[in-house]
Amino acid sequence: MIRRLLPKIDPFQPADGAPPQGLWAFARWALKGAEKPILLAVFVTAMTGISELVAARFTGWVIDGAEATGPGAFWEPFWWLILFGLAFFLLIRPLIFVFDAGVSGVMLGPNLFPMVLQRLNSHVLGHSMRFFENDFAGRLSQKALQVSRALTDLVLETTDVVVYALAMFVGAFFLLGAIDPWLLGVFALWAVLYALALRYFIPRVRRLSAARAGARTAVTGQIVDTYSNIATVKLFARDDDEDAANHAALDHYRARALDFGELSAVFRMVLMTLGGILPVVSILGALYLYSIGTATAGDIAVTAMVTTRLSMLTNRLGRVAMSIFTNIGEMQDGIGTLTPGHEITNRPGALPQAQSGEIRFDHVGFAYGGEGHALAGFDLTIAPGEKVALVGASGAGKSTAVSLLLRLYDVEQGRILMGGTDIRDLTQQALRRQISVVRQETAMFNRSALENIRYGRAEATDEEVFEAARRASAHDFILDLTDHKGNRGYAARLGERGVKLSGGQRQRIALARAILKDAPVLVLDEATSALDSEIEAEIQDALGEVMRGKTVLAIAHRLSTIAQMDRILVLDHGRIVEEGSHEVLLAQGGLYARYWERQSGGFIGAEAAE
């Protein structure tokens, strides 16, 4: 019922533009669309605080009325207090508290965290490959969760405690002022001392909180990096070294946590002392005023109830203040990492649909932001349906050319055109829908084999997935797969990064994924490098069928896989130094011929290995 009465928040409403890097600007961006529910929460919480003051004032009225009337009567002198008390304590106050719980636990809590994380994740996914290559995946995911949780907690704590405290403080100001200006003066002086304490401690809390958050995410990044490369750790017997690295990261975190903990203890001690001063001084002051006849017994009761409640609230507010500024520090730590602008963006008016056709590299230069060029003056035209292979030593620029075609990086000089259109004038999604890719380092999700292959085309039927797997010579081994939960065949999960599969099996699933996508351009980046000769021969016919009618750009060190290409380009230091068919290049006796001579068992020797 409460859910139906409260306003709705759409946690998956897209964000408006890119996130700003300023703390409060980021909060407005992340919470846009939830403003009205948050304001409602502020109002309901304020009503909760006011209801506490009404309860205290009611007690004062009862005491003053009883003192003035004396024993002997009940209904006649107190009927309005009785009716008010019944209505307030049995109806109005319970409803206020029910709605107060509802706005926090039903309206805000379950919706704000997914809203912030969804928007932040959408932005992070749009970063370039360089962004992800320069950081730990575990550290980035930790920061996204950290920022989302911190902002959610910040909103909940502010609306639930801070607004409640402000309502109590403002109400107490008027209640005590109505009793006597001297009580108001005591309260005002105490409020100034409290504000000065907050002003001193809060910046220090924020600074130490940010340092602690950064140290904690470094620990996460270290552990994830170790676990992600656990096979290498085991093979090189480096368990102790990794444990030592983790020990160092944890020790740094512990030092930052101790700094924060010491400050927290002093802060809470100061707030506890201030919280104890208020009720003692206020109650004694009210008692003195009663002794000289300027305050009533009810005034003493109201003062005692309000200031004692404020004292308890002060302690709670101190803990919440620590939490709030801890969350602010964690938000600042994460925002700086996750919210920089995207390096690669869609141009205004970028076309949502790409036309297949000629691919042209027009005097392309690229150096990964450095001085040495991975590609320099690179010119290449690939006709529709033509099959071109790139060959060269490590660092020659082969993979760079593929990455630029896919716009994983933007060219630094020149341009790349597809169907006569600069690929920067296409949306990134439109460009990549035109290209199927099988890379040397195949990527698998920790999902079922069926889901991994269907990643090539989400709307594909099960039978289309099975057919793609058959054409990639993957169907038979997939049927034999099992996972730790007893799933078998296409339902079996492949483990993180496909660790349960051999390299050849991963590449055959990646090939099946590309077959299923059926894009007009096919990129093969060492697509058969992990296959043994028998399996390679088994899928050669399938590769030939898949390449038929498509524009193909292939990178291979195993020259047997590219010997039948229409053209073979030999790259050296980012430039094309030889070009021709397999036979023509052998006859020239240049780099390609030397690579061919050094083959042993179908592999290029050390000079050509990448």
The pTM for the full model equals: 0.74
Q: How many other CB atoms are there within 10 angstroms of residue 464's CB atom?
A: 17
Identify the pLDDT of residue 244.
92
Check whether residue 113 and residue 246 sit in a common domain.
yes
Examine residue 286 and state whether it is found in any structural domain, yes or no.
yes
CB 435 within 8 Å of CB 405? yes
Identify the pLDDT of residue 112.
93
The 3-state DSSP class for residue 449 equals helix
Per-residue confidence band for 609, with pLDDT thresholds at 50, 70 and 90: very low
Check whether residue 325 and residue 242 sit in a common domain.
yes
Closest CA to 197 of 20, 318, 26: 318
Strand partners, 380: 361
Of 338, 369, 396, which closes a domain? Answer: 338
Examine residue 609 and state whether it is found in any structural domain, yes or no.
no
Identify the pLDDT of residue 390.
92
Q: Which of residues 104 and 558 earns the better pLDDT score?
A: 104
Helix axes 137-157, 109-125, angle to 10 degrees: 150
pLDDT beyond 50 at 402: yes
Average pLDDT along the chain:
85
pLDDT tens by residue, 183-199: 888 888 888 888 888 88
The 3-state DSSP class for residue 528 equals coil
Parent domain of 477: 359-597
pLDDT beyond 90 at 446: no
Check whether residue 301 and residue 424 sit in a common domain.
no
Closest CA to 52 of 156, 170, 179: 170
Check whether residue 236 and residue 112 sit in a common domain.
yes
Check whether residue 326 and residue 475 sit in a common domain.
no
Examine residue 6 and state whether it is found in any structural domain, yes or no.
no
Identify the pLDDT of residue 543.
74
Q: Among the listed ranges 382-386, 402-406, 599-603, which one has the minimum average pLDDT value? A: 599-603
For the CA atoms of 234, 236, 240, 246, what is the dihedral angle to 10 degrees? -80
Check whether residue 160 and residue 111 sit in a common domain.
yes
pLDDT tens by residue, 590-602: 888 888 887 644 4
Examine residue 11 and state whether it is found in any structural domain, yes or no.
no
- What CATH number corresponds to the domain at position 226? 1.20.1560.10
Check whether residue 371 and residue 324 sit in a common domain.
no
Q: Total domain count for the chain?
A: 2
Identify the pLDDT of residue 602.
42
DSSP letter (8 states) at residue 90:
I
Identify the pLDDT of residue 603.
41
Of 274, 308, 338, which closes a domain? Answer: 338
The 3-state DSSP class for residue 389 equals strand
Check whether residue 378 and residue 308 sit in a common domain.
no
Check whether residue 171 and residue 298 sit in a common domain.
yes
Contacts of 58 (CB under 8 A, 6+ apart): 81, 84, 85, 88
Identify the pLDDT of residue 401.
92
Q: Phi and psi at residue 603, in whole multiples of 5°?
A: -110, 150
Examine residue 363 and state whether it is found in any structural domain, yes or no.
yes
CA distance 244 to 230: 15
pLDDT beyond 80 at 540: no
Check whether residue 153 and residue 118 sit in a common domain.
yes
pLDDT beyond 60 at 310: yes
CA distance 573 to 581: 21
pLDDT beyond 80 at 147: yes
Q: Which of residues 37 and 205 earns the better pLDDT score?
A: 37
Tokens found for residue 519: 């894009």
Check whether residue 322 and residue 369 sit in a common domain.
no
CB 478 within 8 Å of CB 510? no
pLDDT beyond 60 at 235: yes
Distances (CA, A) of 408 to 150, 199, 390, 414, 429: 32, 47, 19, 16, 12
Contacts of 35 (CB under 8 A, 6+ apart): none
Examine residue 395 and state whether it is found in any structural domain, yes or no.
yes
Strands (E), 401-550: 413-418, 421-422, 435-438, 521-525
CB 115 within 8 Å of CB 189? no
Q: Among the listed ranges 276-280, 344-348, 545-549, 593-597, which one has the minimum average pLDDT value? A: 545-549
CA distance 205 to 208: 5
Identify the pLDDT of residue 451.
93
Check whether residue 388 and residue 525 sit in a common domain.
yes
- What CATH number corresponds to the domain at position 502? 3.40.50.300
Identify the pLDDT of residue 179.
83
Examine residue 417 and state whether it is found in any structural domain, yes or no.
yes
Q: Which of residues 417 and 499 earns the better pLDDT score?
A: 417
Of 308, 338, 368, which closes a domain? Answer: 338
Tokens found for residue 31: 């919470």
Identify the pLDDT of residue 530.
56
